[in-house]
């Protein structure tokens, strides 16, 4: 059994996947790992590229192709369930590992036997030019081991968390002990939510131990979100709000407000007033109304959302035309 399985769900990202595989292979001689690629019926040459790499690096790489596209969530779970390692990470096929990151990651999970490990990420533009390392916790810069079997320590963790990756949204730098994942069933209503993996991460760490590491191990490619919809920019924040409202129900009632406040802090950081205006201008009215209602319910962006009402309908209509025009040039 390998110590770590790097599980890569992918769909039609042949060139980006090649970059990821190279970033792994450059630093994995004699490493105790396996690479598992779960292909969601790609049609861009992914199969030929991965199979050629697998032949050159046998038996390090295993490739499995679904005959039909299962959707992102089901493929995340499929990739994880193909793993054979003691631990696994579900790696986004558009991200890459930082230099020397795998050796560091293996060292950490060997020396600190937590059930779930969160490592930081370096945010980059689409071309992987570094932008920033955004703090996920108030204790950014230090490492922590947290007892997730005690409600008091979980409450403190929710209060110290600043962003969704801190509460298990992000695939590529979350490492979980396989025995804590296997056998857990994702409810059908999470398939299609974008957060099926988060549901099982949460279930896996409750009653166990969480390790938080300040070192970035992956370069995260921004501007390539599978779930973003240019025709309806409200859809992406609504995805977060709907899923995390449901996830909160898996926690004791006393913890739910602190848990959802993490989402509020994350969205306060991401959604500037100019972005709110663009969302309001370009989204269906029903979705905008649901979005503002859900933000109000968690105490997020109340003043900014109200301020959008100061802009007359004519100005929003003009902004909507500008947005459509700019998309037509892409």
CA dihedral 73, 74, 80, 81 (to 10 degrees): 160
Sign of the alpha-carbon torsion through 294, 299, 301, 307: positive
Q: What is the pTM of this model?
A: 0.92
Instruction: Compare 212 and 228 and report the one with higher pLDDT.
Output: 212
Q: Are 170 and 164 in contact (CB under 8 A)?
A: yes
Q: What is the pLDDT of residues 217-230, one digit of tens each?
A: 999 999 888 887 77
Q: What is the pLDDT of residues 258-285, one digit of tens each?
A: 999 999 999 999 999 888 988 988 899 9
Q: What is the CATH number of domain 4-221?
A: 3.90.550.10
pLDDT given at position 164: 96
Supply 271's token pair. 């959604």
Q: What is the pLDDT of residues 10-26, one digit of tens each?
A: 999 999 999 999 999 99
Q: Is residue 39 classed as helix, strand or coil in its secondary structure? A: strand
In this prediction, residues 37-54 reach a mean pLDDT of 96
Residues 283-314 as b/e (b if ≥16 CB within 10 A, e otherwise) read beeebbebbbebbeebebbeebbeebeeeeee
Confidence of residue 1 (pLDDT cuts 50, 70, 90): confident
Query: In the chain, where are the structural domains located?
Result: 4-221, 242-328
Q: Is the pLDDT of residue 143 over 60?
A: yes
Asked if residue 42 has a cis previous peptide bond (ω within 30° of 0), the answer is no
- DSSP annotation string for 198-244: HHHHHHHHTTSEEEEEEEEEEEEE-S--TT--TT-TTHHHHHHHHHH
pLDDT given at position 318: 67
**Residue 94 DSSP class:** T
């Amino acid at each position: 059994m390998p110590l770590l399985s790097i599980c890569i769900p992918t769909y039609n990202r042949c060139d980006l996947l090649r970059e990821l595989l190279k970033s792994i292979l450059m630093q994995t001689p004699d490493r105790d790992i396996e690479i598992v690629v779960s292909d969601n019926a790609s049609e861009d040459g992914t199969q030929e590229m991965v199979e050629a790499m697998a032949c050159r690096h046998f038996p390090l790489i295993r490739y499995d192709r679904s005959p039909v596209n299962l959707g992102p969530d089901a493929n995340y779970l499929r990739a994880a369930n193909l793993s054979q390692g003691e631990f696994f990470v579900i790696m986004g096929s558009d991200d890459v590992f930082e230099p020397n990151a795998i050796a560091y990651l293996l060292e950490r999970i060997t020396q600190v036997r937590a059930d779930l490990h969160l490592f930081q990420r370096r945010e980059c533009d689409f071309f992987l030019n570094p932008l920033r390392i955004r703090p996920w916790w108030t204790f950014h810069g230090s490492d922590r081991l947290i007892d997730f079997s005690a409600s008091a320590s979980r409450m403190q963790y929710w209060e110290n968390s600043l962003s969704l990756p801190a509460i298990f949204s992000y695939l590529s730098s979350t490492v979980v002990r396989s025995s804590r994942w296997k056998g857990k069933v994702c409810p059908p209503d999470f398939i299609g939510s974008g957060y099926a993996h988060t549901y099982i991460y949460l279930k896996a760490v409750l009653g166990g131990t969480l390790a938080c590491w300040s070192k970035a191990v992956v370069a995260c490619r921004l501007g390539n979100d599978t779930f973003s919809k240019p025709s309806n920019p409200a859809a992406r924040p609504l995805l977060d709000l709907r899923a995390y409202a449901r996830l909160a129900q898996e926690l004791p009632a006393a913890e739910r407000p602190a848990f959802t406040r993490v989402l509020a802090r994350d969205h306060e950081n991401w959604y500037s007033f100019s972005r709110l205006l663009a969302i309001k201008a370009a989204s269906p009215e029903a979705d905008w109304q649901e979005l503002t209602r859900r933000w109000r319910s968690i105490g997020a962006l109340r003043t900014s959302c109200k301020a959008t009402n100061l802009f007359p309908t004519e100005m929003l209509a003009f902004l909507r035309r500008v947005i459509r025009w700019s998309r037509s040039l892409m």
